[in-house]
Structure 1
Amino acid sequence: MKAMREGNTIITLDNGYHLWTRTDNVGGDIQLLCLHGGPGGNHEYYENFAEKLKDLNVQVTMYDQLGSWYSDQPDFTKQENIDKFMHMEYFVDEVEEVRQKLGLDNFYLIGQSWGGALVQEYALKYPDHLKGIIISSMTDNIDEYMENITKIRESEFSPEELAFLKDCEAKNDFNERYEELIEKLNKDYIDRKQPAAISHLTSTMGVQVYNYFQGDNEFVVTGKLAGWDRSKDIHNIQLPTLITYGEHESMPLATGKRMAETIPHARFVTTPNGGHHHMVDNAPVYFDHLMTFLKDVETGNFND
């Protein structure tokens, strides 16, 4: 195992593929490992976390999961790669391998959206090295998420527009008008601030991974994630837990509150005017919640 170093590091997994990682503020008092969403997204909304958390002297480590923009991307037209990598268990075990190869111990794990699902799975399977977890904008089951996005669509669109969306989805015809309607939802519920800083000239989404697990966009779930449910298991998570949602996002706030009541040592917070990416939409409130949680756990004052 190599010593942790500042900046970008490419690690080689036991399967031979390579992952891009970055660690800022090496040697900080608190270790935080960040899991991005998607699946098939990337680390970029974590890039300012070390700066935002500098008052607590937090070492922040990010990485792009296999199939994501900065890491290796297997050929997912091959069934053998789909069978080997395109399932939740692979990505949970990948977190553990990254932890081992970077030498993380007694650390906090944060996950956004899909990353929040991985946090729950990891905490249930590999709790021994964790000090606490942060579930950011993720439910403990997909059905309640689907119910919520259905309500969102019904509240935002006319019956004619809804019929058009459903017809496009049934035909797998994601035309320009369809994309324009979905973009309205993205601007209201996903990226409310529409930051220029993380936009690119080309899409950086790992489309094959995203489509396989999720579907065409955030407001349909037609992929392998459909049916995922850990609501009967999360009471077994004994770690200090922060569940953080935007107040105006795609995840149902009622589910986040229930999760906080189910996990024995959990706190639920919301970010005003925040969408699904509320760490960008309203950074001051988001990071205040995160810093308060970390501080409370570190000082033994986390009593939730």
Structure 2
Amino acid sequence: MAPPVTEGEAPFRVPSVDKPCVTWYKIVGDLKTSKKLPLVAVQGGPGFAHDYLISFADLAIDPYDLTVVFYDPIGTGRSTHLPEKNGDEAFWTEQLFEDEFNNLLKHLGIERYDFFGHSWGGMLGSRIASKRPMGLRRLILADSPASMKTWAESARKLLHKLPKEVQDTVEKHEKDGTTDSPEYQAAISVFMNTYVMRLDPWPTEVLSVFEWMMKDPTVYYTMAGPSEFNITGSIKDWDITPELHKISVPTLVLNGKYDEATDEVVGPLFWKIPHARWYTFPNSSHMAFWEEREAYMRFIAEFLAQE
């Protein structure tokens, strides 16, 4: 039998914004009747909608029977958009999204939970976990960096493995400040098809996230920048490494063999978090939950089922 699906909006008060704001959410499963803790899934970007994580709804059906909570952070998807804040690095902060996460938990009445964070979602998750919130039981950091400096350096190395014409196109348009050109975007696509998603064609749920972002790139462009290897936004100096030893919950670190989140990028999460495990999916890049979907869900469920 298919699990119940609930959609709604959580009011989210942002002090510096005059209009009412909401966080849109989707729950697959039943928070009230489930005997297992909910898994809250937080996506990447920053600035991506939840759609590409919907494969995690697999965990809500037999034999796993978990309840999975998805949401679109403010500025993305079906939540309140604030294009007037484009370029405002003082507004789009990690603290804003941490406050939103806690507000959503309170709205839904979630006191204890497991956390899955992909890419930027893992960055947010590691920060939250370093503060040792009472309700967090287990943490999954998927394809996520410990520092953006290492991420950018590693991404450049990956770029230099691509055909020279791709490298030349990227370097030319970054030098000229024309990263919105079709040529630059085509070169970015080569990078994405190599290190982000290796399926052909891409799942429609993944494509929809980029469609959302094209409609309103405010969050991604302000916090990250024009591409995965040209980080110019407010998170360019982000680094959780000094705080990783404070994470006390059992933690699972994941990446793919062909991932833009290379071993160099995710390694410090494993080395410095006291109770961490690390697994690399052998046939995947940045989205193993699509590329090796069945094995991925089984692996996640086994980790969450441990006492």
| Residue type of the alignment partner of 1:94 | E
Aligned partner of 2:190 among 159, 178, 184: 184
Q: Distance in 1 between matches of 2:241 and 2:138?
A: 19
Residue 277 of structure 2 is matched in structure 1 by 267
Match of 2:70 in 1: 62
Match of 2:21 in 1: 17
Amino acid across the alignment from 1:14? R
Q: Which amino acid is 1:32 matched to?
A: L
Inter-partner Cα distance in structure 2 for 1:166 and 1:178: 9
Q: How many Å separate the matches in 1 of 2:86 and 2:182?
A: 30
- Output the amino acid matched with 2:29: N
Shift of 1:227: 0.9
2: distance between equivalents of 1:231 and 1:202? 29
How far apart are 1:63 and its partner, in Å?
0.5
Residue 101 of structure 1 corresponds to which residue in structure 2?
A: 107
Alignment partner of 1:127: what SS? coil
Counterparts in 2 of 1:31 and 1:200: CA distance versus 1, 3 Å: closer
Please state whether the residue corresponding to 2:202 is helix, strand or coil.
Answer: coil
Moved over 4 A (4+): none
1:118, distance to aligned residue in structure 2 (A): 0.5
Alignment partner of 1:258 out of 256, 268, 274? 268
Flag the 1:183–1:6 CA change in 2: closer, same or farther, 3 A.
Answer: closer
Cα distance per residue 1:232-262 (max 9 Å; x no partner): 1101100011111111111121342332121
Q: String of CA shifts for 1:80-127, please: whole Å, max 9, x gaps.
A: xx3663111111111111111111122001111111111011112352
Q: Which amino acid aligns with 2:204?
A: A
**C-alpha separation in 2, matches of 1:230 and 1:196:** 32
Residue 34 of structure 1 corresponds to which residue in structure 2? 41
Larger RCO (alpha carbons 8 Å, 6+ apart)? 2
- 1:22-53 deviations in Å (ceiling 9; x for gaps): 11111322211111111110111222323235
Provide the C-alpha distance between the structure 2 equivalents of 1:268 and 1:145, rounded to a whole number of angstroms: 18
Unaligned 5+ segments in structure 2 are 15-19
Is residue 52–residue 209 contact of structure 2 (8 Å, CA) maintained in 1? no
CA offsets per residue over residues 173-220 of structure 1, 9 Å max, x none? 132222222111111111111423323498111411100111112222
How has the CA–CA distance of structure 1 residues 161 and 74 changed in structure 2, closer, same or farther, with 3 Å as cutoff? Answer: closer
Pairing of 1:1-304 with structure 2 (within 5 A): 6-15=5-14, 16-26=20-30, 27-28=33-34, 29-54=36-61, 55-77=63-85, 82=88, 85-158=91-164, 161-174=166-179, 175-193=181-199, 194-198=201-205, 199-200=207-208, 203-205=211-213, 206-296=216-306, 300=307
Gap change, CA 1:133 and 1:163, over 3 Å in 2 = same
| 2:17 aligned residue | none
d(CA) in 2 for partners of 1:168, 1:36: 29
SS in 2 for 1:228: coil
Identity %: 23
**Aligned Cα root-mean-square deviation (Å):** 2.0
- Given that residues 256 and 268 in structure 1 are in contact (C-alpha distance below 8 angstroms), is that contact kept between their aligned partners in structure 2? no
C-alpha deviations, 1:120-169, integer Å up to 9, x for none?
Answer: 111123521101111111011011111111110111132x6434322201
How many residues are aligned here? 290
Q: Distance in 2 between matches of 1:270 and 1:34?
A: 20
From the superposition, tell whether residues 126 and 165 of structure 1 become closer, same or farther in structure 2 (CA, over 3 Å).
same
Change (3 A) 1:24 1:222: same
1:8 is paired with a residue whose SS is: strand
Q: 1:8: how far off?
A: 0.3
> Which blocks of at least 5 consecutive residues in structure 1 are unaligned?
none
- The answer to whether the 8 A contact 2:28-2:60 is kept is no
Structure 2: distance between partners of 1:245 and 1:51: 20
Task: Give the Cα–Cα distance (whole angstroms) in 1 for the partners of residues 66 and 281 of structure 2.
Answer: 22
1:258 and 1:155 map into 2 onto residues whose CA distance is: 24
